[in-house]
Amino acid sequence: MQNPFENALVQLEKAAKIMDLDENIYEILKQPDRVLMVSVPVKMDSGEVKVFSGFRSQYNNAMGPYKGGIRYHENVSLDEVRALSFWMMIKCATVNIPMGGGKGGIIVDSKKLSIGELERLSRGYIQKIWREIGSDKDVPAPDMYTTPQIMGWMRDEYEKLLGHADPGVITGKAIADGGSEGRETATAQGGVYVVRELAKKLNLQPGETKVAIQGMGNVGGFMAKLLSADGYKIVAISDSKGGIYKEDGLDMGAVFEFKKQTGSLSGFVGAQNVSNEELLELNAEILVPSAMENQITVLNAKNIKAKIVVEMANGPTTPEADEILAEHNVIVVPDVLANAGGVTVSCFEWEQNNKNERWTEGQVFAKLEPMMVQAFGEVWETKERYNITMRAAAFVKAIERVASKIKI
């Protein structure tokens, strides 16, 4: 298994060489500012106490408070949260929001916990880290297997310990608890703004452009609906069990209705069933991996027929596959740009909480669109200036911003 933090450091090194980064700043950026490792004892429903290991990596706060999710998963590791906090720093700086990079996690299979055990675990984790977070210090959010409900418990526990309200301490809350309108569709909406800008650069006509989407959860599903409404031909889509393909385009309304009725995509009339692996290699101009990481690898990269990959999942392309795609002149819009609509609207939630404001969904997207358009333009300009990939360009642009704020 590849060490994700080593991958992150390779990306940092590449960008540092391209931009001739100051040695001292490069040294600073090779390590997180602080990593918390905590043991969280939880009284289980049976009466026994189990101790869970948790982490919080605070990578760099030159741009603003640390920002990043908390995941509950058996495979959470120190290297994973360090890498993810580094990528959050890059993502926030790519779209130029006033936040730094953070990430947290607990080693747990949350599906095996009762609701009471889950609440005690979530509150216990905050009891261990509360002095190191806050709306002006570090702002967590949901991630894998954490929910608005869990964020609500965490915020409540934090405020109890703090002794007063601080609604901006955590984002990704339920709307009733101060969450932002538009958050659910924000990641996909940001991705669509980026696709529109790319279409202008490459002269793509939506009606003649085929799109294959891996994943139809919150991100992939909304992406399919929004691109379809823009006139793109969605020729393939999948869920975790597999997908469907129809060369002249799928009727997305009918697909979602079928999935709702049957619980599956398999057997959708007029389409052929495909596996998630096969979907990646179909004939389409645009491929949108929006499910799991490490989907495009050294094994399948050379078989990818799409000319554009829009990374809506985090880390769907391995570093080796990235090089193969670059050799084949495939344009990869990297995750740190493509899916940054989510963290941007999280930043808006934080801003609304801090100012005691409530914005409508229309106001949220009216602020999101120019930020995504500008970020795309800056990454594209950096790509052209250095003659590098869009991923390298996003890293260079982000590190330029962070470096300009670091005081040595």
Instruction: Determine the pLDDT at residue 406.
Output: 93
R_g of the chain, CA atoms, integer Å: 21
Residue ranges of E strands in 74-175: 100-107, 138-142
Give me the half-sphere count of Cα atoms (radius 13 Å) on the Cβ side of residue 141.
28
Q: What is the mean pLDDT of residues 203-223?
A: 94
Q: What are the residue boundaries of the structural domains of the chain, listed by start? A: 30-177, 180-408
Instruction: Determine the pLDDT at residue 1.
Output: 58
Which of 3.40.50.720, 3.40.50.300, 3.10.20.600, 3.40.50.40 is the CATH number of 180-408?
A: 3.40.50.720
> Known catalytic residues?
103
Q: Encoding tokens for residue 178?
A: 């101060």
Residue with tokens 């931009």: 19
pLDDT band at 292 (very low <50, low <70, confident <90, very high): confident
Residue with tokens 């002095």: 131
pLDDT band at 7 (very low <50, low <70, confident <90, very high): confident
Instruction: Tell me how far apart the alpha carbons of residues 26 and 86 are, in angstroms, rounded to a whole number.
Output: 13
310: left (phi over 0), alpha (psi -120 to 50) or beta: beta
- pLDDT tens-digit profile of 267-283? 999 999 999 999 999 99
Q: What is the mean pLDDT of residues 290-304?
A: 92
pLDDT band at 314 (very low <50, low <70, confident <90, very high): confident
φ, ψ of residue 31 to 5 degrees: the values are -135, 150
Q: What is the mean pLDDT of residues 304-326?
A: 94
Contacts of 232 (CB under 8 A, 6+ apart): 195, 206, 207, 209, 210, 211, 286
Instruction: Tell me how far apart the alpha carbons of residues 242 and 237 are, in angstroms, rounded to a whole number.
Output: 9
> How remote is the C-alpha of 165 from its chain's centroid?
28
Query: Residue 315 pLDDT more than 90?
Result: no
Q: What is the mean pLDDT of residues 7-17?
A: 93
Q: What is the mean pLDDT of residues 134-161?
A: 95
Instruction: Give the residue ranges of DSSP H helices in 104-217.
Output: 115-129, 148-162, 183-202
Q: Encoding tokens for residue 238?
A: 């999948």
Q: What is the mean pLDDT of residues 351-364?
A: 96
Instruction: Give the residue ranges of DSSP H helices in 207-360.
Output: 218-229, 252-262, 276-280, 319-327, 335-338, 341-355
- pLDDT tens-digit profile of 92-146? 999 999 999 999 999 999 999 999 999 999 999 999 999 999 999 999 999 989 9
* CB atoms near residue 17 (< 10 Å): 12
- pLDDT tens-digit profile of 368-397? 999 999 999 999 999 999 999 999 999 999
pLDDT band at 217 (very low <50, low <70, confident <90, very high): confident
Do the domains spanning 30-177 and 180-408 agree at the CATH topology level?
yes
Instruction: Determine the pLDDT at residue 352.
Output: 97
Instruction: Tell me how far apart the alpha carbons of residues 168 and 179 are, in angstroms, rounded to a whole number.
Output: 10
Question: Which stretch of 33-42, 258-267, 361-370 has the lowest confidence by average pLDDT?
Answer: 258-267
Q: Is residue 243 helix, strand or coil?
A: strand
pLDDT above 70 as % of the chain: 100
Instruction: Tell me how far apart the alpha carbons of residues 341 and 130 are, in angstroms, rounded to a whole number.
Output: 27
Give me the half-sphere count of Cα atoms (radius 13 Å) on the Cβ side of residue 67.
30
Instruction: Tell me how far apart the alpha carbons of residues 197 and 203 are, in angstroms, rounded to a whole number.
Output: 10
Nearest C-alpha neighbor of 243 from the set 278, 269, 209 = 278
Class of domain 30-177 (CATH, top level): alpha beta
> How remote is the C-alpha of 399 from its chain's centroid?
18
pLDDT band at 196 (very low <50, low <70, confident <90, very high): very high
pTM across the whole model: 0.94
